[in-house]
Amino acid sequence: MTVETKDYLEIKEYAQKVGEPDWFTALRLKALEALPQLTLPSFEKIKYQRWPIQLKGALKQRHSKPELLQQLSLKDAAHLVVQLGQETVTTKGLDLFEEQGVIICDWQTALREHPTLVKKYFMKKAIKVDEDLLTAQHVAYLTSGLFVYIPKNTVLKDPLTSYFVQDATEKQDYVHHVIIVAEENSEFSYLENLTTLGQTETTANIIVEVIAGTNSHVKFASVDRLGRNTTTYLNRRGHLGTNAKIDWSMGMMNDGNIVGDFDSDLVGDGSHSEVKVVAISTGNQVQGIDTRVTNSGKHTIGHILQHGVILSRSTLTFNGIGHIIKGAKGADAQQESRVLMLSTKAKGDANPILLIDDNDVTAGHAASVGRVNQEQLYYLMSRGLPKKIAERLVIRGFLGPVLAEIPSQLIREQLKVTIERKLVDGQKDE
């Protein structure tokens, strides 16, 4: 039996077990057939091709033990979804949203109960199934996710919080997909938490699509801390209609090697994307973060603000890419990427790229890579602070400008706690 035939049979068997609709199974098989002709995506100065980032595990329905969640301290929220591995284990307060016509459900439920909406939006606007090898693998082996649909003229004042917990207590790929659709004149706030239980070496392939309709506003925040032994491809994409806005606030606090592929496509005139990223790399970890905003519509605004800190022997690369397409008159593309290194063995890069294909536009960039200010450290230590605490205070000051720009106080506070925890753990590795 060839590998291709084996994979084909696994997909058919999995689809039958979970009751998946035929049209989606056919899409899986189409993606599988396309794999030999596709290549890995390429990112400037991010060398990841030799990582175990490709999906090679068998496609199977797996059940995680709910008691595993007792190892985590999950914060309560008024509107909450908790998923462990492939399954949803907790929901809270979703009925209040559903009364307004909002749809919030796990991936398999969405396929069964809302096939028309899923077919309309799944990898049709923000990203394509066969864009590259990793996206096609994602479709072929997808096992979990969340579908959120906000109807026209619906304003949700309270945020939805999700916890997606990867089960790495045994060898299994984590392939997860989130779709958020905000229709015309809607508003929605979302906080996503990614974390890992278990120490098994695994691969994660996660794609998020945010489709923002005319005059809609989506606030997307994430606190990501996947495990040390998880190699991750994390792809977050936004597709914005006329006068739509997406505020991205992402805390990259992962412990394993990761490629972050973030892109906002400003299709509609007057659309606006603000991207805020804070990242900390520790130990021998490598994080490559490629953030792009493409201005296609007229009078669009795309701003990128990224600050990162590197400890020990780790590596952090920021790519900031602003692309103004020909015809995008009055567009504005601005970016700032800064990296602070606390070790002589650390490696950092802040790589600004501006691609300007039209006149009558505004564009600018700032980038820096430097070491911690020794005078600041000396001053703090002269006041009786131990070196490690003094370093953490300097780091907080460095990340402060990004945190201050995050619109949600709740997200700012959660990120501060996560940053402190990541720094404390990182200093133990030194």
Where along the chain do its domains lie?
Answer: 3-268
At 288, is the secondary structure helix, strand, or coil?
A: strand
Q: Cβ of 58: how many Cβ atoms within 10 Å?
A: 13
- Please calculate the CA angle 423-427-430 and round it to the nearest 5 degrees: 145
Q: How far apart are CA 221 and CA 215, in angstroms?
A: 20
State residue 1's pLDDT score.
40
Q: Provide long-range contacts, Cβ within 8 A and 24+ apart, for 409-414.
A: 410/159, 410/191, 411/191, 411/221, 411/223, 411/249, 414/75, 414/191, 414/223
Q: What is the mean pLDDT of each run of 10 residues along the chain (430 residues)?
A: 73 94 96 96 96 93 94 91 97 96 97 97 96 98 98 96 96 97 98 96 98 98 96 98 97 96 98 96 96 98 96 95 97 96 91 94 93 78 83 86 82 84 75
CA distance linking residue 222 with residue 161, whole number of Å: 10
Give how far the C-alpha of residue 331 lies from the chain's centroid of Cα atoms, to the nearest Å: 25
Distance CA 61, CA 20 (A): 12
**CA distances from residue 122 to 110, 130, 371 in whole angstroms, order as listed:** 11, 12, 43
Asked whether the beta carbons of 220 and 210 are under 8 A apart, the reply is yes
What are 239's strand-pairing partners?
Answer: 211, 265
Which class for 26: exposed (0-12), middle (13-18), buried (19 or more C-beta within 10 A)?
A: exposed
Helix (H, G, I), strand (E, B) or coil at 4: helix
Angle subtended by helix axes 3-18 and 22-34, to nearest 10:
160
pTM for the structure as a whole: 0.95
